[in-house]
Amino acid sequence: MSRAQGFTVQVSADRASSLLAQMVLLNRILCEINDFNIQAANTTLSTEFIMSKISALSTKLDDWLAHLPAHMHDTRTNLLTFASQGLGQLFVTLYLGYYHYGQMLFYRFLHEDVGGHVPRTHFYATKCKEHAVLLCEMIYSSDEVPGCDVLYNMVGHVLVIASTVQIHTLLFGVDNESITHARRRLERNFCILTRLRDLWPTLDICMERLQAFHRACRRSIDTSFCMDGWMVRFLVEFANPVSERGDDEVEKPWTLEEIGISNC
């Protein structure tokens, strides 16, 4: 091995260690977000406590992002650089975690923002949508850059959650451009989920969960995004099927055309 080769190997190893270290920090925040969502669903908490907790967790996510070195920012150039070092998948996985944790933290505000005029609620609902969009875009980029594909079963779960955020925009959006983009993402996500299911048959559960969510929206649009016990289970129990929300009515399988988008 030449001196130049040795330097390249060392740089790659150092960057891999840095990415893994950042993942550890993010996972700690995720644990807090999951614990909070479960607590809020099972316990009567004051609005003041909920907003204070969300503000604190939001700050932790913001601080994590702000303290990243420039070479770890979410840019196409950095993605290509990490990919050239064999670390593209790790880089993508790091940001999928960050964007997923954000959409999880702010998800409750999607319901609260519908028909409301509270600036703070709208701010957090917008952040949820931004995280979901960036999560989708990162998965699309991983498909386009060689060596970055993340064909893991967990990707199916986070993409299902991001897809429900797109459904929210389809149902409640007032901006035609945003609705058009959401429809295109939902189409593309469905194709990716179908491809992942071919690789991981257990992802049938993810598809069933998305179908259950869609049926819940059809039954009651007004409460479909309410952060109750059913919604918490939908968000965090990714390996388990979810029961029907509201009643045990059995409906025929749904298709994408039912919500106005074409199939793959």
pLDDT bracket for residue 29 (50, 70, 90): very high
Q: Which amino acid type is present at position 35?
A: D
Model confidence at 206, pLDDT cuts 50, 70, 90, reads confident
Q: Residue ranges of the domains in the chain?
A: 3-259
CA-CA distance, 159 to 180, in Å (whole number)? 18
Whether the pLDDT of residue 204 is over 90: the answer is: no
Q: How confident is the model at residue 129 (pLDDT cuts 50, 70, 90)?
A: very high
- d(Cα 137, Cα 165) in Å, to the nearest integer? 14
Around Cβ 85, how many Cβ atoms within 10 Å? 17
More confident residue, 67 or 227: 67
Distance in angstroms (rounded) separating the CA atoms of residues 136 and 96 = 9
pLDDT at 9 over 70: no
Whole-model pTM: value is 0.84
pLDDT of residue 248: 44
Mean pLDDT across 109-131: 88
pLDDT digits (tens, 9 = 90+) for 51-104: 999 999 999 999 999 999 999 999 999 999 999 999 999 999 999 999 999 999
CA distance 88 to 242: 33
64 and 28 Cβ atoms separated by less than 8 Å: no
Per-residue burial over 228-258, b = 16 or more CB atoms within 10 Å of its CB, e = otherwise: eebbbbbbbebeeebeebeeeeeeeeeebee
Confidence of residue 246 (pLDDT cuts 50, 70, 90): low
| Residue 245, pLDDT above cutoff 80 | no
Structure tokens at 255: 């298709």
Give percent of the chain with pLDDT exceeding 70.
85
Q: What per-residue string of b and e applies to 159-188 under the rule 16 or more CB within 10 Å gives b?
A: bbbbbbbbbbbbbbbeeeeebebbbebbbb
* Arithmetic mean of pLDDT, 139-168: 93
Q: Which two tokens stand for residue 67?
A: 């303290």
Cβ neighbors of 23 (< 8 A, separation 6 or more) are 93, 94, 97
| pLDDT attached to residue 10 | 45
Alpha carbon distances (Å) from 66 to 18, 20, 62, 73, 190: 15, 17, 6, 9, 32
pLDDT at 112 over 80: yes
Residue 28: both structure tokens together: 């700690």
pLDDT, residue 244, reads: 63
Does residue 39 surpass a pLDDT of 50? yes
Name residue 15's amino acid: R
Identify the DSSP state of 203: G
Closest CA to 212 of 176, 173, 174, 241: 241
Lowest mean pLDDT among 72-81, 106-115, 130-139: 106-115
pLDDT of 144: 96
Q: Which amino acid is at 47?
A: T
First vs last Cα of the chain: how many Å apart? 48
